[in-house]
Chains A and B, each alone.
Chain A
Amino acid sequence: MNIENSKQNGDFKSPFAVEIKNINKSFGPVQANKEISLNVSGGTIHGIIGENGAGKSTLMSILYGFYQPDSGEIKVHGKLAYFKQPSDALRLGIGMVHQHFMLVPNFTALENIVLGAEGKTGLYKGLQNARKKLEKLKQAYGLEVELDSLTENLPVGIQQRIEILKALYRGARVLILDEPTGVLTPLETEQLFEILLALKSEGVTILLITHKLHEIMAITDEVSVMRQGKMVANTLTKHTSPEMLAEQMVGRSVLVNNKYELQSIGKVALSVEQLGVVDKRGFDSLKNATFDLHAGEILGIAGIAGNGQSELLSVLSGITQPSRGFFKIEEHLFDAKKNPNPRLMRQLGVSHVPEDRHSEGLVLQFQAFESVILGYENNKKLGNGFFTNPDTIQAYCSQLQEAFDVRPQNPRLYSSQFSGGNQQKLVLSREISSTPKILLVGQPTRGVDIGAIEFIHKTLIGMRNNGCAILLVSVELEEILSLSDRILVMNSGEIMGIVPKITATKAMLGKMMAGIPIEEAKEDKK
């Protein structure tokens, strides 16, 4: 339908589905996009890669009309286009699949797809018509979705399909996917890629935003690299390599496989037996976890986000209660009857760098010196009895900021005013300064700049070398491989196995992350 439109509208047929020229966009003092230009050929899969904060999402938001650029122009099928709002872009056939789904949880799949494009026939008739049209779309692209299910009850992979159907239903011929695989299992990712290839073969143009190199290599025809708001490279995918892309992404060669020296392992610091957590909805989010954590080792927890790692951290740090099994620190045993709590865990020498520093690790509205005592405000050095002493705390904060090179070095600055890397250093400084015996770390370098990543990695290794037992959860497999002494892989709340670093390969870990038990993953390797 929209192809016809574009034929009618355009006087000539451009080879490009989308042309972007000299786009600029600022948010206050931050320039998110600088002089961006990009041509996307029709009927191809075009990858856009870059680190967090490189400006990919902003650019795409401009392309589908959510933001308006400060300057620059966009052409769709050779014709100049002005988008005041997403519906303008949709009218020209540009659809967006968001990273965070734009679905109403208590609507059915059908209602969600039709929302905003109900037609003028009345709701009942509109839904009927849509159902017919959708059956065709579903078959054409293998987008299997139960249209009458409540969206909130569907797995994320299916919810994503609803988003894709939503865009196609509105006649999208250019589909933007923002980090579509972040929430998917490997199997779901595979299925998604099949769908994307089917779409491509039908002439749909796909813009795939990601920060995962292997996805770019696997599926795209062309790739553009963004760094710090600028477009730094445009090539055919077959002419490039992961190493090259990585270098372009960060602006210098990265230490992808930075080998840190292994070290002899000490005695058991934490032992976990048959530990299980049942969440509020009654799901077993952590099942039968059994392992030991030794002094002087880093045990990496690999897995796709949402496979029980967060629950593991949460229960070991005392925030949630175990439902089954127990864990033991020295002679202290915690189970469903004898509950742990964060305060007690801290007293036992357990520190916790949480996965989400914005909502957990820091209080963004607090000044740095206040955030830096979160959970430690009882410390006798920082006040007496009932009261706290702001001067002492500020001095203490300055000390930490200096030791961890937190910039700007100002205890009175609000926590929200620091960059991602410096916020993480604030959290790390607080948790390490209590000289823990056990350190639980979640996503230590998420959204952190390269310089800070190196600092954080070195700090963790340093802690390990001093005999601290570290449990490291990260969705970045590279990070796990580079830092860990042993690697534990999780899938749907279960431990798939523990692999010593020396024998671990990415392929094998990948299979385990997808739910294949360790024995089979090993055999397959041969």
Chain B
Amino acid sequence: MQASRLPRYVDIVLIPVLNLLTALFVAGIIIAIIGENPFTALSVMLKGAFVYKGGLGYTLFYTTNFIFTGLAVAVAFHAMLFNIGGEGQAAMGGLGIGLVAISLGSYLPVIIVIFLAILGSALFGAIWGVIPGYLQAKRGSHIVITTIMFNFIASAILVWLLAGMLMAPNQMSPETVSFSDGVALWQFHEIFNKLGFDVGRSPLNLSFVIALICCLLVWLLIWRTRLGYRIRATGFSLKASAYAGYRPETIIIVTMAISGGLAGMMAVNEILGVQHRVILNFTSGYGFTGIAVALMGRNHPVGIIFASLLFGALFQGGAELDFEFQAITRDMVLMIQGLIILFSGALAYMFNPALEKLFLRNELMMRPKND
């Protein structure tokens, strides 16, 4: 987060693109090594993600998940908190939706149930973020470790509930009963079909719009509000925050509530948008992908939208690989994701020295000699 000496466009466009290309290049080499053509694989993925009927819908559906988890990681990052508990928070968010929908579903009007269920997801996710936040702020435990542990604890709680108290009767698999009719978010293909457009079936639903609204809200929060100012000040310097009187502990807890809430809302897309009941493992690693998304998107909502789109396309295109190839499956996506986290996260500044040399030399040459 140091002020860079490079031009702005290099920092926010060129370097992320270079990192991404490096990751894809390495992925290409691996594909070539296992005996497949990386360009064919790429074109299959692109077609699967954007061209085939319904493909774009699926891509945007995954994008929605990543926007939520990416925003969650980014908000925490602004307070210099590393929230890798997105998985657990999303799982708890799903539980929140389930509890609201199952308990109130048949008593209240559908619209109100949906509204409360969304709130429930944010609330449960927030609680699962606040506890590690509290432990970091007041007890000094490392938030990375606590959030990792909380992922496992959340998963155990879900298994326990879905295979126990909440398990649907006459069911063999660990899942809840289906929600009452109508307790679901509208899916786009239904809307479009009603309007007379023929679009492919896809799970894309209103959550996508909610995610975009969240992007706007997060941008406003971080850069246009007093709270956001305090969050950033606390992230950069705990001492400055204490000096200014912001109570860093409070800021950490509030930030983790917001972060956890956003991660929890990922369940809106999966549970309220598609499944209409709570199932196990619906988070499928999207919480972790959120970290890659935030890293690539440089913790900015606009960057996160683009990065989410990229990962959405990867996930949807990756699914297509299963049909077209014998040797490569959607696990390829995991590998690419790992490479992207490596190159745009851990090695994010690998190219900086070289680029600095390049740009600063040009700058020196352009500067008038009498300077």
Contact = CB atoms under 8 A, between A and B. Distances in A.
In their complex, do chains A and B touch, with some C-beta pair under 8 Å?
yes
Contacts of B237: 359-360, 363-364
B242 interface: yes
A365 B3 contact: yes
Interface in B257-278: none
Contacts of B242: 319, 342, 360
Interface string B233-274: 100110110111101000000000000000000000000000
Nearest to B243: A360
Contacts of B236: 363-366
Interface in A122-141: none
Main secondary structure of the interface of B (DSSP, over half): helix
A416 B3 contact: yes
Contacts of A377: 226, 229-230
A343 B245 contact: yes
A454 interface: no
A388 B226 contact: yes
B244 A375 contact: yes
A378 interface: yes
B160 to A, nearest CB: 40
Contacts of B223: 390
Q: How large is the interface on B (under 10, 10 to 19, 20 to 34, 35 or more residues)?
A: 20 to 34
Contacts of A366: 232-233, 236
A362 B224 CA distance: 19
B225 A388 contact: yes
Interface string A354-382: 10100111111110001001110110000
A283 interface: no
Contacts of B226: 377-378, 383, 386-388
A354 B244 CA distance: 10
Given A341-B245, A343-B245, A365 B229 contact: no
Contact of A342 (B3, B227, B232, B243): B243
A375 B224 CA distance: 16
The 3 closest A-B pairs by CB, nearest first: A342-B245, A375-B244, A414-B3
A417 interface: yes
Contacts of A318: 245
A346 interface: yes
Nearest to B245: A342
Nearest to A379: B226
A320 to B, nearest CB: 9
Contact of B224 (A374, A387, A416): A387
Interface string B1-43: 1110000000000000000000000000000000000000000
Interface SS of chain A = loop
21 contacts: A319-B243, A342-B245, A356-B239, A359-B237, A361-B243, A362-B240, A363-B232, A363-B233, A363-B236, A364-B236, A365-B236, A366-B236, A375-B243, A375-B244, A375-B245, A377-B229, A377-B230, A386-B226, A386-B227, A387-B224, A390-B224
A352 interface: yes
Contacts of A365: 1-3, 236
A200 B6 CA distance: 50
Contact of A346 (B3, B245, B247): B245
Nearest to B5: A28
A346 B230 CA distance: 17
Contacts of A374: 233, 240, 243-244
Contact of B240 (A341, A344, A361, A388): A361
B245 A386 contact: no
Interface in B184-232: 220, 223-227, 229-230, 232
A466 to B, nearest CB: 25
B245 A354 contact: no
Nearest to B227: A386
A387 to B, nearest CB: 5
A16 B243 CA distance: 50
A388 B229 CA distance: 9
Given A344-B245, A360-B237, A360-B243, 18 more contacts: A319-B242, A341-B245, A342-B243, A356-B239, A359-B237, A361-B240, A363-B233, A363-B237, A363-B240, A364-B236, A375-B245, A377-B226, A377-B229, A386-B227, A387-B220, A387-B224, A387-B226, A414-B3
A356 B243 CA distance: 10
Contacts of A360: 237, 239-240, 242-243
